[in-house]
Amino acid sequence: MNSFAPGLKMSLFTLFFLPVLLWLGNWQLDRASFKQGLEFEYLASMVRLPVDLAELDATALGKLENFTKIKAKGRYLDKIFLLDNQTTNGQVGYWVFQPFLTDKSRKNLIVNRGFIPSPVSRSVLPKVESPVGNQVIEATVWPFTGLPPLFQEDDWGDKWPKRIQTKDLTKMGKISGSYPQELRIGAGEPGALEPIAQAEQFDDSKHLGYALTWFGLAVTLCVSYVVFGFSGKRGMRAESN
């Protein structure tokens, strides 16, 4: 019977990648749990009445809980962020973010107005019409779910509107003088575009699927390590050395 001798290289390979695969699997489980928690918060918020920002102090917005509905009076500013690579109902386009200057705090809010389809040519940006004058909107305080990895710097340039590749609220707030917090308006609100499917963003099935994939690769790696260690090829490897 062959003894177990996987060799140094195979052992180091397994010792390096096994913890990585297990960490990735557990990370996806954590993300799934996080999305489940957000879904429960979102469903609970649907019965709450909106909070009027005129009744709050200037710093209250940053302290509001996720999915709190707010009511604000003000006007849209002539600055637009277009978040690229979004899809709605099979169409590819952008999410439109626009600062909203409130009468109460004289501080801008970052309002996600919804989805707009992309023109056929990538060189052409969509034309976004904005309501003129004072408006009263109801919006939802949207949770921050993290930034996707970027393989190159997202250059926003100096011109407006800005086509952006990631929803970097901190950067958006700094450029537009706004609270770094996303507020989403629904259908029928002043300035609302095509609504974004809200509940789909809390689906945990994708993360559970990724977790299963990473754990499956970890099991495959362990089985391969054992089979490799007991295989008769180690003698051939020794001769080749």
Q: Residue 119 carries which DSSP code?
A: P
Does 65 score more than 90 pLDDT?
Answer: no
pLDDT in tens, 112-161: 999 999 998 988 999 999 999 999 999 988 888 776 666 667 788 889 99
> Which residues, at least 6 apart from 209, have a Cβ–Cβ distance to it below 8 Å?
none
* pTM of the predicted structure, to 2 decimals: 0.69
> Which residues, at least 6 apart from 93, have a Cβ–Cβ distance to it below 8 Å?
86, 87, 115, 116, 117, 118, 126
pLDDT in tens, 94-119: 999 999 998 766 678 999 999 999 99
pLDDT in tens, 181-199: 899 998 899 999 998 876 5
> Which residues, at least 6 apart from 137, have a Cβ–Cβ distance to it below 8 Å?
71, 72, 74, 100, 111, 185, 189, 190, 191
